[in-house]
Amino acid sequence: MDSALLYIVMALGVSTVLNLFLKRLGVSQIIGYILTGTIIVYAFDLRDMTDSSMLEHIGEFGIVFLMFTIGLEISLAKMNSMKTEIFFNGFMQVGFTALVVYAISHYIFDLESISALILSLAFALSSTAVVLSYLKSSKEIYNPYGQRATGILIFQDIAVIPILILLGFLTSNGDSSVGMILRDTFVSAVIIILLMFVVGKRVMTWLLHFSASSEVDELFMASVLFIVISASLLASVMGFTYSLGAFVAGMIIAETKYHHKVESDIAPFKDILLGTFFIVVGMKVDILFLVNNIGAIVGIFVLVLILKTIIIYLLLRITSSHMLSLKTALALSQVGEFSFVIFAVASMGGLLDKELESLFVLIVILSMVVTPFFISKINKFVSRITHHEYLGLDTSDFISRKNHVIVCGYSIIGKFVAKNLDTINAPYVIIDNSPKHVQEALHEGKEAYLGDMSKLSLLEAIHASASAAVIVTLDNIDKKRAVCEAVLKHTKNVNLIVKVATLEDKKNLEDLNITSVVDTKVEIGRILVEKMMTCKLK
């Protein structure tokens, strides 16, 4: 017990110091966690613990909470609207990447068929933990390229299930027929869907309602943790991955009015457990094997990076622009964390040689170490080679700004708001999560940035608390409410003016302390009467 506490304390201390240092250099904290794992293993000679199933489970729960927060972002309605990104783009990407990697590894590198199959399926997957963490923190998950990347990653996580089933079938040496495995999987899928969407939805809603009405934050947090872990365990019992159960639970809560509060409350747990996951990844680094095979590891990694970029780009280019396809391809060019699970299962089942497993694991680790360095530079890189203006936000511009107006949304109403602000010479800035709208505003010579104003980090960056007013012109009521909640949580003093178009919109916002709600129908009626009053009699 004492030694376990010592390891935990050392891991916390080393990761904190490393990440403080790396943050000054602008390096992702993921690198710090991976280095921490490697340092702890060699400092305390814990190499015999690197294959511990307990450590694997602890690390996997970082992915569980990440998938839960992604589920909160993707309701059933949104998933239906993203069916092309998830099911078409995702299937094509996984299928074609696996075929190409298999052909190269089997026919060119003479890898035996089973090993080549395992490698191809693992390398077809990208890193949910790294990519989605970046997309969420940078707010680019709401951009077109972020949506495409998210859709493909969701399909990849779903694809892990049949991949693990296939490995189980290969390991069992044919004790069960493919038909029986498919039948059992289908029955399990139907049961888990019925349990979670019919019974689970009612239980989750009831539990969140009563814990929220208690006004005790600890009870609400305990309810959320209970829901996430229960859903994960249920999925595991039915033969699926923990993360799939958490993802479905997130989707169910996304349909309730509590999803914004749940997302903000669960964030610290997700970040801590993700850190634990990357520490476990770092513990797998065999330095001696790495030094002896550094050339092969780097060479294969670069080959995979180029191959995946080309394949994803060509597939997306069928339906998307050059810039959008290139951004998405670069973002998903690495190898993902579920590859560790695939290699471990294959190795334990005798399907993969131990030396090959060590080589493949180090390639994945190198991939996850390198990705945080270049993923944040994708926008600027693609903008430079495609000659499109980068729509990023330089927060230094807002350090001393006060009494400015923030216009949220630059569609038709937003354009008229900006025009009227110009006539009175009021300083204002436009924030929109549509690159098209931001590009239009920039071309018109206006100050505009790409971003999601429902995120407190963005509100802090644009000094919303020092602004004269925030004008919300969005049409989508869910996004509109999320922005209003975030603005009111960030500051109580700002004037919040919100456009509504229907009675339902007005009712949805009536519990919020909004300064002024402008009903477009009421205002049109008033203006029509004013015009009538100023008309001359004929």
**Nearest CA to 86 among 100, 71, 69, 101?**
71
Span between the terminal Cα atoms of the chain, in Å = 95
**Nearest CA to 259 among 75, 81, 82, 500?**
75
367 and 280 within one domain? yes
355 and 408 within one domain? no
**DSSP H helical segments within 25-143, as ranges?**
29-43, 53-73, 76-81, 83, 90-103, 113-123, 128-137
Using alpha carbons only, give the angle 95, 96, 101 rounded to the nearest 5 degrees: 105
Domain ends where: 351, 386, 421? 386
Domain ends where: 335, 356, 386? 386
Nearest-angstrom CA–CA distance, 404 and 163:
53
Q: For 172-214, what is each residue's pLDDT tens digit?
A: 655 555 566 667 667 777 777 777 777 777 888 888 888 877 7
455 and 371 within one domain? no
Nearest-angstrom CA–CA distance, 256 and 317:
36
**Nearest CA to 369 among 284, 272, 243?**
284
- Three-class DSSP category at 499: strand
**Nearest CA to 52 among 231, 352, 279?**
279
Tell me, what CATH number does 202's domain have?
Answer: 1.20.1530.20
510 and 368 within one domain? no
Domain ends where: 360, 386, 412? 386
Using alpha carbons only, give the angle 523, 437, 485 rounded to the nearest 5 degrees: 60
Q: What are phi and psi of 51, to 5 degrees?
A: -100, 15
* Token code pair at residue 276: 């634990």
Residue 379 lies in a domain: yes
Residue 256 lies in a domain: yes
126 and 77 within one domain? yes
350 and 478 within one domain? no
Nearest-angstrom CA–CA distance, 286 and 35:
12
Other Cβ atoms closer than 10 A to 44: 13
Length of the chain: 538
Give the Å distances, CA to CA, from 159 to 162, 301, 333: 6, 22, 17
Strand 495-500 vs strand 469-472: parallel, antiparallel, or unpaired? parallel
Q: Do 111 and 105 form a contact (C-beta atoms < 8 A)? A: yes
Nearest-angstrom CA–CA distance, 305 and 250:
31
Q: What is the 3-state secondary structure (H, E, C) of 316-347?
A: HCCCCCHHHHHHHHHHCCCCCCHHHHHHHHHH
399 and 382 within one domain? no
- Quote the domain boundaries for residue 202: 50-386
Stated pTM of the model: 0.64
Q: Do 274 and 65 form a contact (C-beta atoms < 8 A)? A: yes
Residue 82 lies in a domain: yes
485 and 343 within one domain? no
Residue 241 lies in a domain: yes
Which residues of the chain are modeled with pLDDT < 50?
1
Q: What is the 3-state secondary structure (H, E, C) of 506-526?
A: HHHHCCCCCCEEEEHHHHHHH
357 and 329 within one domain? yes
Domain count, the chain: 2
199 and 74 within one domain? yes
Residue 14 lies in a domain: no
**Nearest CA to 394 among 323, 472, 456, 447?**
447
**Nearest CA to 393 among 325, 322, 464?**
464
Nearest-angstrom CA–CA distance, 148 and 150:
5
Provide the pLDDT for residue 538. 57
Q: For 330-382, what is each residue's pLDDT tens digit?
A: 999 989 878 877 887 787 777 888 788 888 888 988 887 888 888 888 877 88
Residue 27 lies in a domain: no
211 and 63 within one domain? yes
Residue 30 lies in a domain: no
Radius of gyration of the chain from its Cα atoms, rounded to whole angstroms: 26
355 and 318 within one domain? yes
Residue 3 lies in a domain: no
Q: Do 33 and 14 form a contact (C-beta atoms < 8 A)? A: no
Nearest-angstrom CA–CA distance, 320 and 322:
7
